[in-house]
Amino acid sequence: MARTANIRRWLRRPDCPDAIRVLKDLFDKCFVPVSRPDALNEFVERKGTHRAYVAHDGGNLSPFKTHPGNSTIIYRPLPSEPPVAGQIQSIENLHNRDGQNTGVRLHVCRHNLLSKALYDPFLRFPHFNAKTYSTTLRAAEDIIGLDDIVAHAARYDYSHGRSVMVSLSRQ
């Protein structure tokens, strides 16, 4: 707290070097201050067709090629289906006719279900949000919106052909 106050006091001085003020401006653009919630609108609108990440529910989601750890999710392919584990392959920007960004779509490959011959050790623990899946992915992609995501997930490959997915849901 004292160091922060000293920095603020130094920045208010008339003899503060311009280089320090420029560094403060760059820092504020990289790390949005808590006292400036409107600063989120200062970011440049994404005009490309795809993006490297999207912020959702307090975390970042990324395609597998960008960041493998942020690409594993639990989602509903259809509202009537139970949640499944998947891996984000790409994040597509949606634009209206004027070229304005209106949202995103995620292209997700589902993890195949575990073979009946293999045992899921987490079935014994119904209150622990973990399930074993095959390490292989389906070839077909599901195209979903952010509202279809149930939770971000952690993946651990613990034996040949098997991965455990642990839901990181905050609920």
Tens of pLDDT, residue by residue over 74-92, are 999 999 999 999 999 999 9
What the block records as the tokens of 125 is: 């623990």
Q: Are 107 and 92 in contact (CB under 8 A)?
A: yes
Question: Which amino acid is located at 141 in the chain?
Answer: E
Tens of pLDDT, residue by residue over 47-71, are 678 888 899 888 899 999 999 989 9
pLDDT band of residue 33 (cuts 50, 70, 90) is low
- Domains within the chain, CATH numbers bracketed: 2-42 (no CATH), 50-167 (2.30.30)
Burial class (CB in 10 A: 0-12, 13-18, 19+), 70: middle
- Sign of the CA dihedral with 25 first, then 54, 92, and 103 last: negative
Tens of pLDDT, residue by residue over 107-149, are 999 999 998 888 888 889 988 889 999 999 999 999 999 999 9
Q: How far apart are CA 109 and CA 63, in angstroms?
A: 11
Q: Over the chain, what is the mean pLDDT? A: 84
